[in-house]
């Protein structure tokens, strides 16, 4: 299952550009993935920067992997390191230092021409089923 709603400024969680939602994790013996993204009409030059997003997760989903990803070069995806939410739920910083090697990359990434940024949530087949509530604060590249 892959979900791709655009980020919205309609809901405020921690900052002025937050998106809140939920993802139903029903495994049926298979891993589950959900991705929430923001597309750019003008590519962003993030060369040499670190992308961060404050994220909020409901309790009990500390086994879920959260990663920031970027897309460049008309479809090349790169993922940053995995962050696990706090066991009791709450806010955590998810980051991707674009000067470091990506955890996953599907080709040559051009960090000077980023078309899309997103948060990927991945749950293993053995993780508990349930509804994960989360918020993503504004993605920042610094």
The predicted pLDDT at position 48 comes to: 95
User: What is the CB neighbour count within 10 angstroms for residue 43?
Assistant: 15
Question: pTM of the entire structure?
Answer: 0.81
Domain count, the chain: 1
pLDDT of residue 77 exceeding 60, the answer is: yes
Average pLDDT over residues 52-60: 85
| Domain limits for position 102 | 19-141
pLDDT digits (tens, 9 = 90+) for 87-107: 888 888 999 999 999 888 888
Is position 13 within any domain? no
Is position 5 within any domain? no
Q: How far apart are CA 75 and CA 116, in angstroms?
A: 9
**CATH assignment of the domain containing 82:** 2.60.120.260
Is position 2 within any domain? no
Of residues 80 and 91, more confidence is placed in 80
Is position 78 within any domain? yes
């Amino acid at each position: 299952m892959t979900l791709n709603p655009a980020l919205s400024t309609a809901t405020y969680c921690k900052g002025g550009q937050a998106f809140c939602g939920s993802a139903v994790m029903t495994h049926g013996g298979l891993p589950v993935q959900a991705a929430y993204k923001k597309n750019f009409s003008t590519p962003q030059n993030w060369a040499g920067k670190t992308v961060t997003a404050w994220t909020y997760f409901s309790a009990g989903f500390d086994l879920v992997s959260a990663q920031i990803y970027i897309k460049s070069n008309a479809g090349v995806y790169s993922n940053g390191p995995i962050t696990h939410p706090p066991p009791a739920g709450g806010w955590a910083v998810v980051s991707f230092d674009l000067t470091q090697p990506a955890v996953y990359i599907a080709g040559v990434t051009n960090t000077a021409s980023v078309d899309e940024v997103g948060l990927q949530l991945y749950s293993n087949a053995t993780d508990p089923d349930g509804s994960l509530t989360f918020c993503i604060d504004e993605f920042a590249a610094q």
